[in-house]
Structure formats: structure tokens, C-alpha cells
Amino acid sequence: MDIKELKCGLARELKGDILPFWMERMKDPSGGFYGRIDGTGKRDADAPKGGILNARILWTFASAARLFGEEPYFKTAARAFSEIRDRFQDPEYGGIYWSLDASGKPLETKKQFYAIAFAIYALAEYFRACGDREALDLAIRFWCSIEDHSYDALRDGYLEAATREWAPIADMRLSEKDRNDAKTMNTHLHILEGYTGLYRVWKDRTLGKRLEGLIRIFLDRIIRPDGHLGLFFDEDWNPTSETVSYGHDIEASWLLYEAAEVLGNKDLIEEVRAATVRLSDAALEGYREDGSMVYESDPVTGHTDTDRHWWVQAETVVGCLNRARISGDGEWAERAIRSWDFIRNHLLSPDGEWYWSVREDGSLNLDEDRAGFWKCPYHNGRMCMEIIEYY
């Protein structure tokens, strides 16, 4: 398989499987989208609706509408935009709610800056696709919310979460699996991602300065000497965990490079190029000869989580191709193709979308969602569109 064949295969997967699944099976007749389809393909009509999931749906269909110009994608993106604007947006305090109940009423009203960053990313892409100024204005308001309530002017970087009213909150975790630390790589990565998308369509000087500052945080604080990303930090940037996340290593390698390219600073691009090489080289520790990438490892305990998660595989394809592009090393393109082979042979569900993960023994993980709070069309959809558009 060469890159041309890869692009054809990804186009078929995107337009024949991923996008139809979300348009047809997740659309809620009462408004917006259902909150969950479980690992066996059963819809849970009573499940809460997550802000992250809905922002990711908006980004995916806005990007598809921009790329292909097809009316069903515009309509689905418009539906997702209305959901963010009319239901998830907090009309009193700003930002977006963490979740709604199944009827669309606010459920968990805390402000997780990770989720607000995804809303910025999605709204900027929607504006890019259809020129709706209301979407851009909302993205700018959300950007102001992050800058006003998350940015740490004293120690640099961004704090994790706040109450609905923007007061300090005791539990700042994104999920029960995370540490309760003030600053995390994951939130900084996706604020960077959101700011990159916004700067692409709105060349504000302060936004550009903050985006460059985020890149510097990764270069100076988050990327470790061994090339891996540090994951958790206290307010003073002292690391609190040694866990390695291979999927984030490879995802950050290309998102950082994209951010530098959007800023257009040649010296910074060259500095980030070197960091991209270090990150992608470090991520190879988790890469297997069958094309898969394992999830994470903990050098303290010696435990490695060898599940092949859907999002990690998708990011591996993009990250490997990006490394091939900036280094000219064709072996990285071959790795990307092997990763796609693994995905299509192991993760694609015959009744739509991708399974959550494949375990070490080759069995499918049906315990986790096919669609849900964290299972979305963004990683796999973006993988397809990134390669279709730029390679």
C-alpha cells in the first residue's frame, strides 16, 4: 500500500462508516445527539450528554463540511453548533457546562478548561467552514473565559478547572482515572490545539502570544529529557507522575508542529521540529511490529497497559506521517500504513464506528463505549481528514 491507496481507504472509512454512524445512529430527535452507545452497539437514550463529546462532533462535521462541501455534513455541524450555543453554553457565567442530562438540561455545571478548549477548537473550525460570525464571536468569548479564569500569570500555564462561577474547585480531575493536580499535559495540549484553530481564523496578537507561550511550556517544562511528555504537575510545575502515555507523545508531536506552522515563526518551527523528532522517537517505545501502539507504561511499578486504544492508533497514523514529512524518512510512512492495517483489521466494527480497544490477547474490549462521553468521531475522523487534505 502506498500513500495514495492509504488516502483512498481513509476516504472510504470516513464517508462510508464514521460520519454516517454519527449522523444516523447518534442523532436525538428531541435535539442534539444521544449521550451513549455501549460497546455492544446498544443505544442508551437516558445517558448524560457530555460537553467534550458534543464539541468534538461539531469539530468533526465542520471539518468534513469544509473539506467535502456536502450538505449533510453542513446540516449536522449546524445541529452541533446549536447544541453548544443553546444548551451547553452557560448564559450567566460563560463557558460551557461539563454535561447535560438526557433531556438537555444542565447536569454537571463545573467549568473544565479542557472542555472549553474543545469548544473553541470546534467553533473556530465551524467558522472556517461556513463563515458564521456568531460562531467566531462565541469562540472568542470562550477564549476570554480561559484567559480570565485559567491562565496563571504568576507561574505560567493554565489551571485545570473551576466551579460554575469560576471559583476554585477541590476536585479538578478530568476523570476518575486522572490525578487531582493543578496542571496537566492533557489540558495544555488541548488548549494549544484550540488556540491553534482559533489563531488560524483570527490573527489576534494576544492570542498569538499565548499560543507561542503554550509551545514554550511544552518545550521547556512538559517534554522530559527522555523525550516523553510529563503528564501531571503541581502549580509550580513540579512533576507528580512518571507515567508515559505513548498516544499523547505521538499526538503532541504533530499538534505542536502544526501550532508552530500556523504561527509562522521560522525559528520556532525549527525548534519544534527537533522536539517533534524527540517525541516521536520516544513514542516508538510503545510501537509494535504489527503496527499497533500500546497505551501507557509506569516505570515506577514496571506495569505496561498493552491495550490498543482506538484514539492512540488514530494518532499514531497521523504522527508517523508527520514525522515522515518533516524528516523525509520513508520508514515512518511505512509505520503509518502498518498502523492503518492494524486498525482496519482489528478495530472497525461491522455495524459501525470503531471498538474502544483491542486487548493484548486479541480480544475486543466491549466493556467500553462505541460512542459516549469520551468516545467520539474526532480522533479517527481527524486522522482521515488530516491525511486526505495534507498528504
pLDDT at position 350: 96
> Mind listing the pLDDT tens digit for each residue in 79-96?
999 999 999 999 999 999
> Mind listing the pLDDT tens digit for each residue in 306-340?
999 999 999 999 999 999 999 999 999 999 999 99
> Mind listing the pLDDT tens digit for each residue in 338-367?
999 999 999 999 999 999 999 999 999 999
Query: Residues 109, 193, 324, CA angle at the centre, nearest 5°?
Result: 145
pLDDT at position 176: 85
In percent, the amount of the chain with pLDDT more than 70 equals 100
Average pLDDT for 50-77: 98
Fold of 3-390: Glycosyltransferase (1.50.10)
Average pLDDT for 216-222: 98
Pairs from 350-353 (Cβ < 8 Å, separation ≥ 24): 351/41, 352/17, 352/20, 352/21, 352/25, 352/41, 353/17, 353/18, 353/21, 353/22, 353/37, 353/377
Query: Residues 107, 110, 115, CA angle at the centre, nearest 5°?
Result: 95
In percent, the amount of the chain with pLDDT more than 90 equals 98
Q: How far is CA 195 from the centre of its chain?
A: 13
Residue 116, beta-bridge partner list: none
Distances (CA, A) of 210 to 30, 158, 194, 305: 39, 11, 12, 35
Residue 282 has pLDDT above 90, yes or no: yes
The 3-state secondary structure of the chain, one letter per residue = CCHHHHHHHHHHHHHHHHHHHHHHCCECCCCCECCCECCCCCECCCCCEEHHHHHHHHHHHHHHHHHHCCHHHHHHHHHHHHHHHHHHECCCCCCECCEECCCCCEEECCEEHHHHHHHHHHHHHHHHHHCCHHHHHHHHHHHHHHHHHCECCCCCCECCEECCCCCCCCCCCCCCCCCCCCEEHHHHHHHHHHHHHHHHHCCCHHHHHHHHHHHHHHHHHHECCCCCECCEECCCCCECCCCEEHHHHHHHHHHHHHHHHHHCCHHHHHHHHHHHHHHHHHHHHHECCCCCECCEEECCCCEEECCEEHHHHHHHHHHHHHHHHHHCCHHHHHHHHHHHHHHHHHCECCCCCECCEECCCCCECCCCCCECCCCCCHHHHHHHHHHHHHC
Residue 260 has pLDDT above 90, yes or no: yes
Average pLDDT for 185-198: 98
Distances (CA, A) of 385 to 60, 238, 317: 9, 37, 12
Average pLDDT for 227-254: 98
Residue 265 has pLDDT above 90, yes or no: yes
pLDDT at position 64: 98
How far is it, in rounded angstroms, from Cα 128 to Cα 114? 21
How far is it, in rounded angstroms, from Cα 186 to Cα 241? 13
Report the chain's mean pLDDT, rounded to a whole number.
97
Average pLDDT for 258-276: 98
pLDDT at position 124: 98
pLDDT at position 190: 98
Residue in 214, 100, 99, 238 with CA at minimum distance from that of residue 146: 214
How far is it, in rounded angstroms, from Cα 191 to Cα 222? 14
Average pLDDT for 65-73: 98
380 pLDDT band, cuts 50/70/90, is: very high
Residue 63 has pLDDT above 90, yes or no: yes
pLDDT at position 148: 98
26 pLDDT band, cuts 50/70/90, is: very high
How far is it, in rounded angstroms, from Cα 55 to Cα 49? 11
177 pLDDT band, cuts 50/70/90, is: confident
Residue 1 has pLDDT above 90, yes or no: no
Residue 168 has pLDDT above 90, yes or no: yes
Q: Could you tell me the three cell numbers for 218?
A: 511544552
Average pLDDT for 106-122: 98
Residue in 134, 137, 131 with CA at minimum distance from that of residue 66: 131
Residue 384 has pLDDT above 90, yes or no: yes
11 pLDDT band, cuts 50/70/90, is: very high
Average pLDDT for 13-24: 98
Pair 306, 295: CB distance under 8 Å: yes
